[in-house]
Structure 1
Amino acid sequence: MTEYPQRDVFFVSNSVDELGGVTSWSHQMARLFTERGHRVHVIGITPAEVVQRLGEVPYPMTTLYDGQPPRPGRARAASMREQAARLTALFRTARPGAVVIVTQVWAMEWVKQADTTGLTVIGMSHESFAYCKKTSRFQRVLRHYKGVDRMLSLTREDADLWIGQGMNNASFMPNPLPFMPEVPSPRTENVVVSVGRLHDQKGIDMLLDTWAEAAPRHPGWRLRIYGSGEDEEILKKQCTALGLDDVVEWRGSTSDVPGALRGGSVFVLSSRGEGFPLAVMEAMATGLPCAAFDCAPGVREIIRDGEDGLLAALGNTGELARRLDALMSDKELRDRMGEAARVNIQRYRTGEIVRHWEELFAFLER
């Protein structure tokens, strides 16, 4: 096995402890790199509005602003120069061969103003090309990532689409498996589990419409939703209007995702857009078959349709209801797909992904 040099690795994100998958990914990778002997520093631009509980971390964290930066204008420009100088000072502490990984394009606006001479700079997009293209982030990715050493998406399919936009530095890196529990779900509870923010992107409104169609055919089954967010009140009103209050459980955020998943027999993903969804990986590692909207290349790369889960066309709630119906109706199918999911997802085990990162660092240093 090739031994790679130990490096200084900076992760720069919008916030160091923001609730969401990018933060979870950043700290998982930071821990993995630390365990491999790399010296890691996690940097955020602003404090998070909704905080993710992190516990003790074995590396330093820095947040540049005490609050939100000034509105665009002279004050904003002056504050950006000041905070970019702080970034420059942090980067200058690094040993030769250091790497800066910018996980979100907004954070890159500060990194671009800092002095990164002698550093390898990698910019990341943690969402699919198609979803990004619908947002203001798309033009910023094209503008701010074009000159970095590597722009990373999460799948080869998305990387090819970015290359088609003239991003010749584009490549891809899948997410690592967040955990591999020793004890999988027994799949004995009549529960379908959803885990995600209560936000438009996650499509919980479409999930409720789906459940309104599927639930009447399966008395005794419940939909258990884990997550919090700005859409909570309107979603609960929708749930009541659909007559689902007796068959939907709102569990809020959880710090025990493996435990939440072990309590279910099927996992459902109803997102409008994703990158390489950690929740699906976690569910499969726990032995749950997944029914999901085919909303991103990452989803259809993780889930092998008909083998370890079932996919439905994005936004087709009737089709997603039929996929759930198939899994809820047939324990043998649930068990077969759940066991296949637990085996297949191990291709993303952490050792493999870290090795790919170290290979990339070495390649970009040449």
Structure 2
Amino acid sequence: MTEHPLNLLFVIKSLDSRGGGAERVLSDVSAELVRRGHRLTIVSFDPPGSTDFYKIDPRIARVKAGIGNVRGKSRIGETIKRIAAVRKAATSLRPDVAIGWMHSGYIPLAMALAGTRVPLVASEHIDFSHYRTVPMQGLMIRLLASRFASVTAISDRVRSGFPPGLRDRMIVLPNPVTAEPERLADPVGGAEKILLTVGRLFDQKDHRTLVAAFARIAPRNPQWRLRIVGEGELRPDLEKQVEELGLKSKVDLPGVIDDISAEYDGAQLFVLPSKYESFGLATAEALAHGLPAVGFADCPGTNELIKHEVNGLLAQGGDREAALADALERLMTSEGLRQAYGAAGPKSVAHFSVAAIADRWESLLYLMAAGRALT
């Protein structure tokens, strides 16, 4: 490190039992930054006695403000109290740069820093199209945009979807991907083989199409099981679908798993049936673990990570269920393709290593601390 250590304040709504991709990214990036000698404090609104789902480096100061219901929509009274708590922390810590993680972190942080000279980086992790479904959030972001020294987006495509006033101050910082080299998957496997998907159980991920596609090909491929790792509001619907299709003995719904690496390592094939992704962290992690991957050719995020017939297959066609079933069965019935595509996976996402992404974060934070605008 050629420059002085920075004093950094991160604000996120919650790190307690959520298991989301953005929370995992914060855990990885913050650990690498503190390893490099920077001083970090992470403030969340979790209850004081709660446990962070992802491990936070013990060298990082951890503040749990215990304000409001962190798993539901924020009320006005809660937001006001959170702003006050963040302002108190910022006044005490006097950080060189403050980083708000997702809109639920950077909106109260922007208000808390009013009248201070602390530069604010708003770390965005979703498409702007999301805010069209929640207009009040979108309005708040537009109103506070002038207070953001910089805004991060996780891909060029995500950045391009933001309004000019925000897009002009955005920088692309992809999510880091972690995989332990000694824990690569075996795409061939044993007598029983696992088709794995990882993601929250809600409409965007389109697990219903996956279950229906698997039902088409399961009878011809009895050695395969479908494992859907994640939790969400659509669990009852998926459980009902699995039962109606006679797949209870072939489909697992284990919920959120602590050791996600073990899930990748134990699978032979990965699939993400999403309609859209901001980045596709689970797909990138699967590739890093040496798993061949399948997704949809029209799914933003997924189609930027899966290289058709290089590290996996992209299903395409008007009938999503049939197209996905065909792509899956092509790989389920070919050990050679699974091995070839799996071997290409780690190299295809090597530029998303934690060290490489932390380098980019570090450069941005030094710029912000120096008061230099992005060009």
TM-score category of the 2 structures, normalised to the smaller one = 0.7 to 0.9
Distance between the aligned counterparts of 2:156 and 2:356, measured in 1? 17
Q: Which residue of 2 aligns with 1:60?
A: 61
The answer to whether 1:247 aligns with 2:247 is no
SS across alignment from 1:112: helix
SS of residue paired to 1:304: coil
Mark the CA change 1:12 to 1:71 in structure 2 (over 3 Å): closer, same or farther: closer
Distance 1:313 1:110, change over 3 A: farther
Closer/same/farther in 2, CA of residues 25 and 236 from structure 1, 3 Å limit: same
Q: 1:292: how far off?
A: 1.3
What is the TM-score with the length of structure 1 in the denominator? 0.88
Aligned to 1:220: 223
Could you tell me which amino acid in structure 1 is paired with residue 21 of structure 2? G
* 3-state SS, counterpart of residue 89 of structure 1: helix
State the AA in 2 paired with 1:307: V
Q: 1:114 aligns with which of 101, 112, 118?
A: 112
Q: What are the ranges of 5 or more consecutive residues in structure 1 without an aligned counterpart? A: none
The corresponding residue for 1:303 is 306
Note closer, same or farther for the CA distance 1:82–1:192 as it changes in structure 2 (3 Å cut): closer
Aligned length: 360
Report the CA distance between 1:236 and its aligned residue. 0.7
CA contact (8 A) 1:88 1:114 kept: yes
Tell me the alpha carbon deviations over residues 260-298 of structure 1, each in whole angstroms, 9 at most, x when there is no partner: 111111101122332222211221111101101346543
Q: Distance in 1 between matches of 2:110 and 2:205?
A: 31
Write the distance in 2 (CA, Å) between the matches of 1:138 and 1:328. Answer: 43
User: What amino acid is aligned across from residue 159 of structure 1 in structure 2?
Assistant: R
Alpha-carbon offset, residue 102 of structure 1: 1.2
Counterpart of 1:150? 150
Query: CA–CA distance in 2 between the matches of 1:131 and 1:296?
Result: 16
Matched, 1:292 2:295: yes
Whole-Å separation in 1 of the counterparts to 2:343 and 2:102: 35
Cα distance between partner residues in 2 of 1:103 and 1:296: 25
* Range that drifts further, 272-281 or 282-291: 272-281
Give the gaps of 5 or more residues in structure 2. Answer: none
| 1:312 to 1:164, Cα distance in 2 relative to 1, 3 A | farther
Identity over aligned pairs, percent? 26
**Which deviates more from structure 2 when the two are superposed, residues 146-155 or residues 331-340?**
146-155
Q: 1:51 to 1:131 in 2, by over 3 A?
A: farther
Alpha-carbon spacing, 1:254–1:181, altered in 2? closer, same or farther (3 Å):
farther
In structure 2, give the amino acid aligned to 1:115. Answer: L
For residues 263-282 of structure 1, the aligned pairs below 5 Å read 263-282=266-285
- Name 1:125's counterpart in structure 2: 124
Match of 1:235 in 2: 238
> Which residue in the other structure is 2:208 paired with?
205
Match of 1:84 in 2: 83
SS class of match (1:162): coil
Secondary structure, in 3 states, of the residue corresponding to 1:19?
coil
Q: Is the 8 A contact 2:27 2:55 kept in 1?
A: no
| 1:154-206 superposed Cα distances (whole Å, 9 cap, x missing partner) | 11122123254763212211011123332311223322111222223322222
Could you tell me how far 1:86 is from its partner in structure 2?
2.3
1:357 maps to what in 2? 361
- Write the distance in 1 (CA, Å) between the matches of 2:89 and 2:104: 19
Residue equivalent to 2:102 = 104
Distance (whole Å) between structure 2 residues aligned to residue 89 and residue 246 of structure 1: 54
Counterpart amino acid of 2:353? R
Deviates more, 1:275-284 or 1:142-151: 142-151
1:40 equivalent in structure 2: 40
State whether residues 19 and 52 of structure 1, in contact with CA within 8 Å, keep that contact through their aligned partners in structure 2: no
Amino acid at match of 1:306: E
After TM superposition, give the deviation of residue 139 of structure 1 in Å: 4.2
Q: Secondary structure at the match of 1:318?
A: helix
2:196 counterpart (190, 193, 196) = 193
TM-score (norm 2): 0.86
